[in-house]
Structure 1
Amino acid sequence: MDDQRVAIHHFSCRDVEGVFLSGFLVPGGPREAEIFLNHHLKTETKVAVYRAVYKSTLLYGAESWTAYRQHVKKLEAFHICCLQRILGLTWQEKVPHSKILHCSNLLSIESTLAEKQLSWIGHVICMPEHRLPRQILYSQLSEACRNPGEPHISDDLYILRA
């Protein structure tokens, strides 16, 4: 897939899988149909591949993300979609997400994000005081530019008021 981009708000499971598989597996290596749809592989093997390739790529750098609800929901939808394909389930079977996660022995995306962020904060707290991440974590603004509840005013409006 040459420079093909998938918009985060209009993705299908197959689109995102194609982008991940084309970019992160070894050329000539196994493809999605050979792994997730192969009935000769154990579910544990399929989940291990998913965890190593998809989930690690999907959540790369998640320690520093600001996790908005809309983004977490989209990531969670992709996560469940992949696990359904691994387990051979369809949406018509109406299997609860909690059961899918239990069968695959994985955490939800929201739990994984919280775990990664808490782990990073614990790491930053243990850093020496001269390190920049620790200084930023414990820093405060020296003075506020506006009163709480007051709207943000750009520099252009300040010039017009003068």
Structure 2
Amino acid sequence: MLYGTECWPTKRRHVQQLSVAEMRMLRWFCGHTRRDRVRNEAIQERVGVAPIEEKLTQHRLRWFGHVQQRPPEAPVRSGVLKRVDKVKRGRSRLKLTWDETVKRDIKD
């Protein structure tokens, strides 16, 4: 489910959708339904799984470490780390970029 998520500039909505899907799978795995009224934390503790937001952060920072190890002339590094200022973004463009997400993860 997390394949390729290290390249996403994830919004809160994405994290929420992933956590809902994960909890549905964990409930199914444990044999519980929503009607059983078992808390999410209890199911995560029983299975021994960390919250999906922590996993996303770990994947993103691991990928950032791999990008940093590449030589400066590598296409992946120049494409990720190059910032162009004074560029007007379109209306439908995401306001959050991948490098801004990584900076937020490093700060946290």
Do the structures match in fold with TM over 0.5? Answer: yes
Which residue in the other structure is 2:28 paired with?
85
Choose the corresponding residue for 1:136, options 55, 79, 83. Answer: 79
Distance 1:82 1:152, change over 3 A: closer
Kindly provide the CA deviation profile for residues 43-87 of structure 1, in whole angstroms up to 9, marking residues without a partner as x: xxxxxxxxxxxxxxx222111112121122112111101111111
* Inter-partner Cα distance in structure 2 for 1:112 and 1:134: 23
| SS of 2:55 mapped into structure 1 | helix
After TM superposition, give the deviation of residue 110 of structure 1 in Å.
1.5
Aligned to 2:98: none
Moved more, 119-128 or 99-108: 99-108
Match of 2:67 in 1: 124
Rate the CA distance shift 1:152–1:73 in 2: closer, same or farther, 3 A: closer
Instruction: Report the secondary structure of 2:73's partner residue.
Output: coil
2:52 counterpart of 1:113: no
Q: Which runs of 4+ in 1 moved over 4 A?
A: none
Q: If each structure's helix is expressed as a fraction of its own residues, which one has the higher value?
A: 2
Question: Displacement, 1:107?
Answer: 2.0
How far did residue 152 of structure 1 move? 5.5
Residue pairs, 1:35-74, within 5 angstroms: 58-74=1-17
Q: Percent identity between the aligned chains?
A: 26
TM-score by length of 1: 0.50
Structure 1's 87 and 126: CA in aligned 2 closer, same or farther, altered over 3 A? same
Q: Any stretches of 5+ residues in structure 1 without a counterpart?
A: 1-57, 154-162
Size of the aligned set, in residue pairs, is 91
- In 1, distance between residues paired with 2:45 and 2:57? 18
Higher relative contact order (CA 8 A, sep 6+): 2
What is the one-letter code of the residue matched to 2:86?
A
The 5 Å alignment of 1:93-104 reads 93-104=36-47
